[in-house]
Amino acid sequence: MLPRSRTPWLRRRTAALAAAGAALAGLVTGTLSTAVSHAEDQSACRPDGLYITPGVEVPYCSVYDSAGREKMGDGHQRRVIGYFTGWRTGKDGTPAYLVPDIPWEKVTHLNYAFAHVGPDDKISVGADGPDNPATGMTWPGVPGAEMDPALPYQGHFNLLGKFKKQHPDVKTLISVGGWAETGGYLDEHGKRVDSGGFYKTATNADGSVNQSGIDTFADSAVAFVKKYGFNGVDIDYEYPTSMKDAGNPKDWTLANARRGGLDQGYAALLKTLREKLDRAGAADGRHYLLSVAAPSSGYLLRGMETYRATKYLDYVNVMSYDLHGAWNEFVGPNAALYDDGKDAELAKWGVYTTPQYGGIGYLNGDWAYHYFRGALPPGRINLGLPYYTRGWKNVTGGSNGLWGTAKTTTCPAGSGLTSCGDGAVGIDDLWHDNDDDGKESPAGSNPMWHAKNLEKGIVGDYATRYGFPAGTRLTGSYVRNYDATLTAPWLWNAEKKVFLSTEDEQSVKAKAQYVIDKGLGGTMVWELAGDYGWNAAKGQHEPGSTLTSAMYDAFKAAPAYGARRATTDLPSEALAVDASLVNFPLGDSNYPINPKIHLANNTKTTLPGGAEFQFDYGSSAPGNAKDQSGWGLKVIRSDHNAPDNIGGLKGDYNRVSVKLPASQPLAPGASADLDYVYYLPAATPSNWTVSFGGKTYALAGDLARGTTVVDPGGSTPTPTGSPTATPTGGTCTAAPWDKAAAYNGGVTVSWKAHTWKAKWWTQGEEPGTTGEWGVWQDMGSC
């Protein structure tokens, strides 16, 4: 079974200064025009695979070019997304990181962390007031932090708006949730309120979707974006997985009771947000972005089914860090890019020796990228980088600490653990959080500027502001090590037996080259305040932009990112045949991973026995998938054929073939299931085809650019992505739907206060029950 690589209780996001659980934003200016020419073919700008909101002419061309690639301004071929946190205000005397400190010329997107979900299911950054960092706080006398009097709010929101006027190509998103505020929020005193957060808002106590709560949240998020001038919404829900005791221990009681429905609620949340943002964007003449911060741990992803929500997202920010830390005893890199075949945690759980796993180690950025690559074009995936350390003390074994162990039974109060890693403390844990008893949570968590000072043997003048006495000296030497296979640096103090996993220019440049070579959309950084620069006058490292500049320099001459999901040619004609994975066992029961492939024929043509379906699944899982239904499912191509993934997976996909049994043709409106088995997490299968009668078709559900939905029986083709006019509402004028009547393609009816348009001939199929790829297209309320 997969080890429980649980994201820690002491995440980098739970700062003591998150006094208001605040968030902030900037103005939507520049790249998002306020008026989009309706002469443009908006569907030509839609990214490959992005969900199409029914009945809405989405102004994709305000953000994307005619190849479906995001427009980010001169010198920005790839994204550099930085999280900017609301709590490093400097009000407690520790170093501030404010909007003027952001390297605006070097970033493309800024995510403000965090807003939260309030008890009323609405987005919130806390009550307005002079102590609210997002909307009320000011910084008199700080150069660049003068408020813009043209804006009706103060705080970080004001400064982001002010600086966006100077840098109109930079987009801002409001990030909602985070480790501390997924299942609750931090009030104005910094105390957590266990309100339920995303767990309650998206999923009812019985595990069903809470559509009412979702609608309330989505409506409030759209209004929030418009009020404060954001370019979109970023959801950091940690975590909608069926794996027991995942996420913040404070949320376990609430979340564990809902585990069976969390993924379904998550998908419904993102679908609703996508549709409401699209409708707002159509009215405003600009496309609003929707993204998520996604886990990279194979343990968590196994319980998130196939991450079916990817189709609703402009892009995914992969949290390809927190892969090792003091929540357990295994000493390793925070954010290795590749596996080296020696990961002590994976070795303990038999990952390298269990044949079904194919020798694939999955606690690294390359594996996480290939997981999402199974469902997305490379350009809709961003690789996460940490600007902070993780570390242990009292390390034994390993090579200069690497793959050693450091175990203790003295775990932080509130962690839910009885055995954990012996985390580094004191001067080796500058950015620590406090546990439930108000004591330091040992984690070895430091901004990279402090780690660089440790490497040079420097105790910076800021140490006193973190509670260290003047004249504090370091014990031992912090020697930098680097493993080229892992693409991971670390500091090793042999005298103290302290291991600190770091990030520096060598590793960041290597990861930037990986992004370029693989065609990824770019990088995401948690968090900008950890970057470093050298202050020659003081002889110390301080907050700066060295690593962000290294990424910008690498990307500015890079070729365009990969905008196409398939690696082979697909048919231009698609059928309305739905293929989905359903009925996943929950949590630890989901091994081997064993859902059902559900095939539903929404055409008016029978698919004959022997019709062949093919699809791709990502190489994050080995090429040994099979079925238990006797349909003869087999892997016909594996892009990665190596016996392991040391140094990276060699290709993107495994291609599968399966045929309808000769005795089981699929009639119009009928469906069929087959038991499907695979052994490591893989995202939603993609690049589907079905072949029969001497012809091969794509499937409409892939949302591939340029495909046309047809019916072999001969109905009017519907180009994928061709929008219809945005409905204006009002009285239903079309005739009511009649169950006994037959309708040709293009006919409209009214039913349950909505207007519906038939895509092809139909009879007896009730509007609203046929799904997004079924015969009836929802044209909006009337």
Domain at 175, CATH number = 3.20.20.80
The helix-helix angle for 546-555 and 505-518 (nearest 10°) equals 30
Residue at token pair 């060295």:
546
Query: Does residue 210 lie in a domain region?
Result: yes
Residue 513: Cβ within 10 Å count: 13
**Does the pLDDT of residue 23 top 70, yes or no?**
no
Residue 27: the pLDDT is: 33
Whether 37 and 75 share a structural domain: yes
Segment 94-117 mean pLDDT: 98
- CATH number of the domain at 638, please: 2.60.40.290
Q: What is the per-residue pLDDT across 370-424, written as a single tens digit (0 to 9) for each? A: 999 999 999 999 999 999 999 999 999 999 999 999 999 999 999 999 999 999 9
Confidence of residue 16 (pLDDT cuts 50, 70, 90): very low
Of the three residues 295, 319, 343, the one that is the final residue of a domain is: 319
Asked whether residue 705 falls in the same domain as residue 732, the answer is: no
Cis peptide bond upstream of 114, omega within 30: yes
Encoded amino acid at 635, one letter: V
- Coil, strand or helix at 255: helix
Do 222 and 74 fall within a single domain?
Answer: yes
Q: Which two tokens stand for residue 420?
A: 């954990």
Quick one: pLDDT at residue 32? 40
Distance CA 668, CA 115 (A): 46
Q: Mean pLDDT check: name the lowest of 210-219, 273-282, 457-466, 754-763.
A: 754-763
Within this chain, do residues 205 and 243 fall inside the same structural domain, yes or no?
A: yes
Residue 247 is assigned to a structural domain of this protein: yes
Q: What are residue 391's phi and psi, to 5 degrees?
A: -165, 170
| Cis? peptide before 239, omega within 30° of 0 | yes
Cα–Cα distance measured from residue 778 to residue 734, given in angstroms and rounded to the nearest whole number: 13
Residues 615 and 680 both lie in one domain: yes
Question: Which tokens in the block code for residue 452?
Answer: 């660089």
Q: What is the mean pLDDT of the chain?
A: 92
Note whether 598 and 683 are same-domain residues.
yes
pLDDT for residue 734: 85
Provide the pLDDT for residue 720.
Answer: 58
Task: Please tell me whether residue 504 adopts helix, strand or coil conformation.
Answer: coil
So what's the pLDDT on residue 622?
98
Let me know if residue 622 belongs to a domain.
Answer: yes
Same domain, 29 and 170: yes
Separation of alpha carbons 44 and 40, rounded Å: 9
Locate 16 and state its tokens.
């003591």
Residue 226 in this model has a pLDDT that exceeds 60: yes
Tens-place pLDDT, residues 698-752 = 999 999 999 999 998 754 455 555 443 333 334 678 888 888 777 776 788 888 8
29: confidence class by pLDDT, cuts 50, 70, 90: very low
Verify that 116 and 167 share a domain, yes or no. yes
Q: In which region does residue 398 sit, left (phi positive, over 0), alpha (psi from -120 to 50) or beta (all else)?
A: left
Could you tell me if residue 752 is inside a domain? yes
The average pLDDT across 635-660 equals 97
Start-to-end C-alpha separation, the chain: 52
DSSP output for 291-339: EEEEE--HHHHHTTTT-GGGGG-SEEEEE---SS-TTSSB---SS-SSB
Last residue of a domain, one of 263, 287, 319: 319
- What token pair was written down for 396? 């034994």
Q: In the predicted model, is pLDDT for residue 30 greater than 80?
A: no
One-letter amino acid for residue 544 of the chain: G
Together in a domain, 611 and 749: no
Is 59 within the bounds of a domain?
Answer: yes
pLDDT, tens only, 496-512: 999 999 999 999 999 99
E strand segments, 453-549: 479-483, 488-493, 498-501, 522-526, 532-535, 540-543
Say which CATH number the domain at 753 has: 2.10.10.20
14 within some domain: no
pLDDT for the residue numbered 739: 80
Number of domains in the chain: 3
Residue numbers of the domain that contains 600: 573-710
549 CB neighbour count, 10 Å cutoff: 18
Q: pLDDT, tens digit, for every residue of 298-310?
A: 999 999 999 999 9
Task: Give the type of residue at 344.
Answer: A
Residues 220 and 80 in one domain: yes
Domain contains 170: yes
Domain shared by 685 and 592, yes or no? yes
Q: Which of 710, 745, 764 is the C-terminal boundary of a domain?
A: 710
Predicted confidence (pLDDT) per residue in 63-76, tens digit: 999 999 999 999 99
271 and 187, same domain (yes or no) = yes
In a domain, 50, yes or no: yes
CA dist., res. 88 & res. 90, Å (int): 6
Sheet holding 748-751, edge to edge: 748-751, 754-758, 776-781
